[in-house]
Amino acid sequence: MLTLRVALRYLISRKNHSAVNVISLISMTGVAVATMAIVCVLSVFNGFTDLAKSKISRLSPDLRIESREGKVIASADSITASLRSLPVVAAAAPTIEEHALAIYAERQTPVMMKGVTEAYDTLTDIRATVKEDGTWILTDSIYGDFATLSVGAAIALEAHPGFYRTLDLYVPRRTGRINPANPVASFRSDSLFIGGVFQTEQAEFDTDLVIIPLEAARRMLDYTDEATAIEVKLAPGVSDAKGAGAIASAIGSGYLVKDRIQQQEQSFKMISIEKWITFFLLAFILIIASFNVISTLSMLIIEKDDNIHTLYALGASHGMISRIFILEGWLISLLGGIIGIIAGVALSLAQQWGGFIKLGGDHDAMSIDVYPVKVEIPDLIAVIALVALVGWLTSALTATIMRQRLRN
């Protein structure tokens, strides 16, 4: 307690040399600015994560069931029927996803073919994502099956909704041998009119997805009641965790039940990795800013040389003298960190409510025009812990070096 009181007295007392006061202020300001930058950057990452979470609900179902071993769920129709009887389930439908080759007129591109049922409109918000020049349709009694293209696939194929020509999809046959003399026979194909083009503003959906009727996908792949996944919409008021638990208990351990975040696990994992890589890069800047604390303590120890010898004469130990200056440097870093956190939170909240920092580019083509931000308590705890650790280490290093010099 005595060491803390002496450290506080040294911190707030007037120094004999004004340079010590200036360097102390610079040290505190450097730590504050670095801390503020960390808080603001982490808040922006949180904002983009929340934005991504709000977007994934458009074509991602509440829950998605996949086979734990292998790609295909056998007897998917019967499993789906049993799921529909559960009170936590509002709707459920099998789906098939497979790589295919799409050909439209003279252009061709690889796509991800997805077969769905009419319930897909209930499971997701697909209808709202279809552009105005088309419509959401799977089958028609006169024209047959329709395909709905992602905006990326439509651009690659230069395709448009309508009855100008059909879209041809090719997938490799699951059984049989490849005939070199007739390679086309090694593929199964289907022709569909294009009903519409959708855009979700998410790369995983907008790049190459082509949605077709489930039965058309099964014909092409020689499936009967198989599916690659079962998509589920939960009843109103049922949380993802509760619904996933009830479904997992009903279907057994041979299946994975994924919520929206788990369905896009790779995307969110990359955002998290980028966030913490940036955190450690900014932490390095904080360490550099803390070097000013070393200069401050060095000058302060030299200035307080007479006081130090007086303390020695009164019986103070070397450890006590070291702790005084360690606490002095730590208080400078901590005070700067607190000021930086307050400033960072204030700026982030101002951006959240006022949106004064705009995104670049064409705002008409984007869903937002300002940087999204969100302040999270765990981030603030991590930042203040980092500031405290860096401040303690730099102060301890300086006090140890200067104590050795004073001994000599």
Specify the pLDDT at position 365.
Answer: 45
Strands 187-198 and 144-150: parallel
Confidence of residue 307 (pLDDT cuts 50, 70, 90): low
Specify the pLDDT at position 69.
Answer: 86
Helix (H) or strand (E) holding 116: strand 107-116
C-alpha span between 133 and 130 (Å, rounded): 8
What is the CA 7 to chain-centroid distance, rounded?
43
Average pLDDT, rounded, for the chain: 83
- pTM score, whole prediction: 0.66
Range 216-242 average pLDDT: 92
Range 270-289 average pLDDT: 86
Contact of 87 with 198, CB cutoff 8 Å:
no
Phi-psi region of 339 (alpha: psi -120 to 50; beta: other; left: phi over 0): alpha
Burial string for 263-279 (b: 16+ CB within 10 Å, else e) reads bbeebbeeeeeebeeeb
C-alpha span between 283 and 289 (Å, rounded): 10
Confidence of residue 72 (pLDDT cuts 50, 70, 90): very high
CA distances from 11 to 20, 278, 395 (A): 11, 32, 14
Instruction: Find the DSSP H helices in 314-373.
Output: 318-354
Q: Tell whether the model's pLDDT for residue 191 goes beyond 50.
A: yes
Token pair 């194909």 is found at 189
From 384, 163, 398, 143, select the one nearest 286 (Cα to Cα): 384
Specify the pLDDT at position 403.
Answer: 61
Q: Note the pLDDT tens digit of each residue in 14-63.
A: 555 555 567 777 878 888 999 999 999 999 888 888 877 776 667 889 99
From 114, 123, 121, 105, select the one nearest 149 (Cα to Cα): 114
Instruction: Find the DSSP H helices in 130-176.
Output: 151-157
Q: Tell whether the model's pLDDT for residue 363 goes beyond 50.
A: no
Neighbours of 302 (CB within 10 A): 14
Helix (H) or strand (E) holding 94: strand 89-104
3-state secondary structure of 159: coil
3-state secondary structure of 73: strand
- 385: which residues sit within 8 A by CB, 6+ positions away? none
Specify the pLDDT at position 335.
Answer: 86
Q: Tell whether the model's pLDDT for residue 161 goes beyond 80.
A: yes
Neighbours of 321 (CB within 10 A): 23
Choice between 406 and 49, residue whose per-residue pLDDT is larger: 49
Choice between 355 and 126, residue whose per-residue pLDDT is larger: 126
Range 58-69 average pLDDT: 89
Contact of 251 with 75, CB cutoff 8 Å:
no
Token pair 């009181």 is found at 5
* Burial class of 66 by CB neighbour count within 10 A (0 to 12, 13 to 18, 19+): middle
Q: Tell whether the model's pLDDT for residue 355 goes beyond 50.
A: yes
Percentage with pLDDT > 70 across the chain: 80
C-alpha span between 121 and 231 (Å, rounded): 12
- 256: which residues sit within 8 A by CB, 6+ positions away? 65, 66, 67, 68
Contact of 214 with 96, CB cutoff 8 Å:
yes
